[in-house]
Amino acid sequence: MSFLRKIFKKKKSVKAGEDLSGQAAFIPEDYFGNNLDENVKKIIETLGNSSDIIIRKMEIGRTGRIAIIYTDGLADDKLIDNNIIGELLLTKESMDGTISEQHSLHIIKENLISISGVKSIYDWDQLFHSLLSGETIILMDNANEALSISTVGGEKRALTEPSTELTIRGSRIGFIERIRTNTSLIRSRIKNPNLWLETMQIGKVTQTDVAIMYINGIANDKVIKEVRKRLKRIEIDSILDTGYIEQLIEDETFTTFPTLYITERPDVVTANLLEGKVAIFVDGTPFVLTAPALFVEFFQAADDYYFRFDIATGIRLLRVLAFIISIIAPSIYIAATTFHQEMIPTLLLITIAAQREAVPFPSFVEAVIMEVIFEILREAGIRLPKAIGQTVSIVGALVIGQAAVQAGIVSPAMVIIVSITAIANFSTPSFSMAISARLIRFLFMIIAATFGFYGLIMAILVMFIHLCDLRSFGVPYMFPLAPFTPSNAGDTVIRLPIWTLKQRPRLISQKNIIRSGKNQEPHPPKQTASQPKKENQE
């Protein structure tokens, strides 16, 4: 009996997985009938007689009847007219009488359609998914199958520079909303047969295409299996963006730190794949997820690897310093002015006291008022049109800050602290990590106003413990700093010369970790013995 229970459990889980990925259940009622008119009628009824569903019936051969069905706006009309309808009409005129009832769609599939992407489908779920994805369907009378022809077209956005990840050097191309275009951008950079792609459909209503991409032989098999498992476990009506996927497959929900990396740059995804990570593409969004994600990864930019190592290291350290400032600068000011005035130099203390003499609020209330105002201005600048968004945020900050000081609501020192904090927050390359810093900053401000420096130090220690405890698909979030791995520590908050980075991250790849050969260090050419003699002769 226990053996039978296992069998039935397995069958149940497989069906659930198939349903989640948009595959049709193996039910006889889901298959086509032999009558063309009834099949077309079912399509019209199921789609509510939608005006964008184009159905053209044709006769081919003596008694053969077919229906060509596609979605206007999703399919390429010219491709359908020239390579499907045109070919069939030409065949009817020149080969009339050669196709009879005994012929099936196999003749059309193999000999008449001049499009490479043609496949046979056998049930209604496959038909509707293909039809609503921009493919063209051919149904034939007295046939229990249909043809799905790849004619995806419609409008799409041109390849432009990503607006959220600007760089000085490097590629100027970003992802767009078409999943196939996005995967092709990676294919064009990694021309290797081991670059594998798996596609599934998630969302009971939207049937959104979701693809995972990895390099076989470099990516960790356990991570690939875990990513696939978490995606197939999703049961939801719709997937509209990678944010849905991120929130449904992340390791830890109750944390402000992102455990999946989000990017819209093909070169960043390519670099992550070469490190052994897995990329997750979602149709309809230009943002791609990569996993596992590491804490140090959020302070690295694409052009760090296009500059010399000393310049890249200096910029990375500056980003880390800016991140620390964006988290604790207001908290330090609040703790110092509220509990630890003896730590402030005397002249500076007198200046701050003189500025705060007419301010009716404590430092904490001052900081909260200014931080909330800056957050409102930042949000307004994002939501407004680009032409006026930046102007409103900059001018608004200057005007409100000056007016608040003149009105005696806040002190000039607090305006300076909050302004430096806001500017430092913009230095973080990852928007996800920058938002985390903004949330943590408010928490630290409350702790500093309540417990002073002692509470602030304890809060920082708790944050570090939390970071060390986080995992991203089983990989420690603070790797390679904790656990410390010397062979991978050269590409963290610092960046050693590129010829020293010989190994991929060990806890991510775990196989084929060597990515460069020996003796890659550049050497100047050796001076020959004949050269000094020629110079002496001259």
Q: Does 202 map to a domain?
A: yes
Lowest-confidence region among 112-126, 214-228, 305-319, 462-476? 112-126
3-state secondary structure of 344: coil
pLDDT value of residue 63: 61
Domain end, chosen from 476, 494, 519, is at 476
Q: Does 507 map to a domain?
A: no
Both 139 and 185 in a single domain?
no
Secondary structure string (H, E, C) spanning 289-303:
EEECCCHHHHHCCHH
pLDDT tens profile 500-524: 888 888 888 877 888 887 888 887 8
Q: pLDDT averaged over the chain? A: 86
pLDDT value of residue 23: 40
pLDDT value of residue 12: 41
Both 311 and 282 in a single domain?
no
pLDDT above 80 (res 25): no
Alpha carbon separation from 317 to 11, 304, 484, 496 (Å, rounded): 54, 12, 19, 13
Lowest-confidence region among 52-61, 89-98, 175-184, 458-467? 89-98
Positive/negative CA dihedral, 498, 500, 502, 508: negative
Q: Does 25 map to a domain?
A: no
Both 447 and 334 in a single domain?
yes
Q: Does 530 map to a domain?
A: no
Both 283 and 364 in a single domain?
no
Per-residue pLDDT averaged across 78-96, rounded?
77
For the chain, what percentages of helix, strand and coil (3-state, to nearest 5) are there?
50, 15, 35
Contacts of residue 241, Cβ cutoff 8 Å, sequence gap at least 6: 282, 284, 285, 287
Instruction: For residue 282, name the pLDDT band (cuts at 50, 70, 90).
Output: very high
pLDDT value of residue 93: 54
Q: Does 69 map to a domain?
A: yes
Per-residue pLDDT averaged across 222-236, rounded?
95
pLDDT value of residue 445: 96
Q: Does 441 map to a domain?
A: yes
Please state the domain count of the chain: 3
Per-residue pLDDT averaged across 201-216, rounded?
94
Nearest CA to 399 among 374, 430, 424, 363? 374
pLDDT value of residue 5: 42
Instruction: For residue 189, name the pLDDT band (cuts at 50, 70, 90).
Output: very high
pLDDT value of residue 17: 39
Based on the number of CB atoms within 10 Å of its own CB, is 500 exposed (0-12), middle (13-18) or buried (19 or more)? middle
Query: In whole angstroms, what is the distance from residue 235 CA to residue 206 CA?
Result: 12
Per-residue pLDDT averaged across 247-271, rounded?
95
Q: Does 126 map to a domain?
A: yes
Specify the amino acid at residue 138. I
pLDDT value of residue 16: 36
Instruction: For residue 92, name the pLDDT band (cuts at 50, 70, 90).
Output: low
Q: Give φ, ψ of 192 to 5 degrees.
A: -135, 135
3-state secondary structure of 359: coil
3-state secondary structure of 522: coil
Instruction: For residue 243, name the pLDDT band (cuts at 50, 70, 90).
Output: very high
pLDDT above 50 (res 387): yes
Cis peptide before 532 (omega within 30 of 0): no
Per-residue pLDDT averaged across 361-383, rounded?
90
What is the residue-wise DSSP string for 241-292? Answer: SHHHHHHHH-S-SS-SS-SSEEE--HHHHHHHHHTT-EEEEETT-S-EEEES
Instruction: For residue 95, name the pLDDT band (cuts at 50, 70, 90).
Output: low
pLDDT value of residue 4: 36
Based on the number of CB atoms within 10 Å of its own CB, is 403 exposed (0-12), middle (13-18) or buried (19 or more)? exposed
Per-residue pLDDT averaged across 75-99, rounded?
76
Instruction: For residue 436, name the pLDDT band (cuts at 50, 70, 90).
Output: very high
pLDDT tens profile 341-368: 999 999 998 998 998 888 899 999 999 9
pLDDT value of residue 404: 86
Both 314 and 463 in a single domain?
yes
Query: In whole angstroms, what is the distance from residue 322 CA to residue 324 CA?
Result: 5
DSSP state of 505: -
Angle at 76 between CA 74 and CA 82, to 5 degrees: 155
Q: Does 108 map to a domain?
A: yes
How remote is the C-alpha of 410 from its chain's centroid? 41
Lowest-confidence region among 12-26, 196-210, 254-268, 271-285? 12-26
pLDDT value of residue 53: 94
Query: In whole angstroms, what is the distance from residue 265 CA to residue 253 CA?
Result: 26
Per-residue pLDDT averaged across 452-472, rounded?
96
pLDDT value of residue 13: 38
pLDDT above 80 (res 395): no
Per-residue pLDDT averaged across 69-97, rounded?
81
Both 77 and 120 in a single domain?
yes
Both 325 and 464 in a single domain?
yes
pLDDT value of residue 61: 67
Both 286 and 315 in a single domain?
no
Both 263 and 309 in a single domain?
no
Domain end, chosen from 460, 476, 492, is at 476
Both 253 and 129 in a single domain?
no
pTM as predicted: 0.85
Both 310 and 287 in a single domain?
no
Both 62 and 194 in a single domain?
no
Domain interval for residue 195? 179-293
Instruction: For residue 8, name the pLDDT band (cuts at 50, 70, 90).
Output: very low
Q: Tokens representing 91?
A: 């065949």
